[in-house]
Amino acid sequence: MSNPNNSSNTTTSTTPKPFDWLHGGLFFGGGNNNNNNNNNTNNQKDDGIDRIDSEKDVNVLLDGINDNLQATLVLTVNTEVTTTTTTAAAAAAAAATTTTTTTEADNPSSSTSTTTSPSDFLAARLARLRFLLYDERRITSSSSSSSSSQPHYHSNDSNTNPFSLGRVTIPSVALSTVQGLAGAHHHATLIPQLIRHLAVLPFESRKHVAAIFNYLLVCGLDGTDRELYIPIMNAFRDYVGIHFDDILQPILQGYRNSHDGSTLTDVVLHCGSMYRSCFRHVTLYRELVTTTDRVRRYVFPFLETYATLPNFDVSSDAMENVKAVMTAGCDGSDNESDDDAATQQELSELSAAFLTRDYEAVWDERFNPNLLSPDTNYMTKRVALQILSTVLLTRSNYAVMIRYVNSRTNLIVVMKLLRDTSPHITLDAFHVFKVFVANPNKLPEVEKILKDNSQKLCLYLETLHQDKEPNDPQFAEEKKLIIATIRNL
């Protein structure tokens, strides 16, 4: 027979008391240890990486990026020191690690595997800064292209709002970022440090660094809202100019490290994109090409080594850099504004002066022997021929063109490329060869080669890319003119 007292006790223990949900101290700070632990966990989460996604203060983000970078570098150095220990020490460390791992597996509460590293915080803050910059551009771009005279953006926070009282103002996120990076305090060296240590940053962080750098450097060049960003872009351009060597040296170092296999390919590609962004500006391009010393440091390595590396991605990127430097101002755009046209003209004149001044070092010592030799890979030869054709046909490069096409050695190089096994190479070589033939003031040694080989040249040119002629009347006319000119020599 059951005990009534026991039944009563059971009922009492299972029946909830009024306001029993307050007993845990949800609002009043009381409660058991489990509740305290949950509160601590939530506080740690609030103070941790999740809070970065809601951060709007650019200076706070820059402070965090700087601190996280330094902490990441310290951990990297410590890791490198650890990997250089003796075999015995390494074995002991491995044993200790195994013991620790076993202990943590037995006692999950003691595990530190979920601890967020400084590199994780760095990646999160860089991603947040990139998002703020891009989101601000989305807003200003949509507003400037809208038919409404008033932007549809409402906020009481004038510090983060790119609009103020219905009137478009300087975008505050981009402005604060540039002011924070270019200001006279510890952030002034943040960009050079990030680029210098790009290889040790997490994969996503590397992408964010390059994206932020490129965005700030070209944000005023394109877009319907470009006028808003020109002052910001120019301020960052001036900052890069002040730190020119500090920025260009680590960019080139990324390619050097790829040569010895110590750098991942994506690091090189990020370095290449930043390199090319710099030289869309006249002032930075002038910094590069005004002196032969800087050309030797920051241009010649691409001609000498990086453009011919076996890694296709690296060599292709290096050739893009060669093209950007040697054909500056020759973008072929037909819808330029007056300001754009003036910029392109100034870039072209600077490029012509550099190519003329350093003619032997560029063409005779590096470009022809390294990029147009029979041993050069297909991609490098093709891009090199396209670069050469662009340079020779650019009006500001007249002095370079006359000197190049009056060289017997150069003519022989191009005639050999006319017989290449690749139809694309032969077509590109033709566009260079025609400049030699069309030159009205040929030197005797050049004219002699054309005369001595006139019959073979004409027969070959008549069959060159015949399938292309029906769809490309300009090419067909050029072929006829070149053949006729050779026959009339």
Q: Is the model's pLDDT at 106 over the cut of 70? A: no
Q: How sure is the predictor about 246, in pLDDT bands with cuts at 50, 70 and 90?
A: very high
Q: How sure is the predictor about 146, in pLDDT bands with cuts at 50, 70 and 90?
A: low
Specify the amino acid at residue 295.
V
Q: Is the model's pLDDT at 94 over the cut of 80? A: no
Residue 259 has a pLDDT of 72
Residue 11 has a pLDDT of 45
CB 461 within 8 A of CB 485: no
pLDDT in tens, 22-31: 444 444 444 4
Specify the amino acid at residue 33.
N
* Residue 40 structure tokens: 């601590």
Mean pLDDT, rounded, for 88-108: 42
Q: How sure is the predictor about 185, in pLDDT bands with cuts at 50, 70 and 90?
A: low
DSSP state letter for 197: T
pLDDT in tens, 460-475: 999 999 999 999 999 9
End-to-end CA distance of the chain: 129
Residues contacting residue 94 through CB under 8 Å, at least 6 positions apart: none
- Which residue is listed with tokens 């551009």? 137
Q: Is the model's pLDDT at 149 over the cut of 70? A: no
Residue 264 has a pLDDT of 84
Alpha-carbon span 75 to 58, nearest angstrom: 25
Least confident of 47-51, 89-93, 117-121, 386-390: 89-93
Quote the mean pLDDT of the chain: 83
Alpha-carbon span 147 to 134, nearest angstrom: 22
Q: Is the model's pLDDT at 476 over the cut of 50? A: yes
**Which SS3 state, helix, strand or coil, does residue 153 take?**
coil
Distance (Å) of CA 334 to CA 142, 203, 320, 331, 344: 25, 38, 21, 9, 12
pLDDT in tens, 293-341: 999 999 999 999 999 999 999 999 999 999 999 999 775 544 456 678 8
Q: How sure is the predictor about 186, in pLDDT bands with cuts at 50, 70 and 90?
A: low
Mean pLDDT, rounded, for 61-82: 83
Residue 165 has a pLDDT of 35
Mean pLDDT, rounded, for 353-367: 98
Specify the amino acid at residue 420.
D
Alpha-carbon span 371 to 380, nearest angstrom: 6
Mean pLDDT, rounded, for 225-234: 95
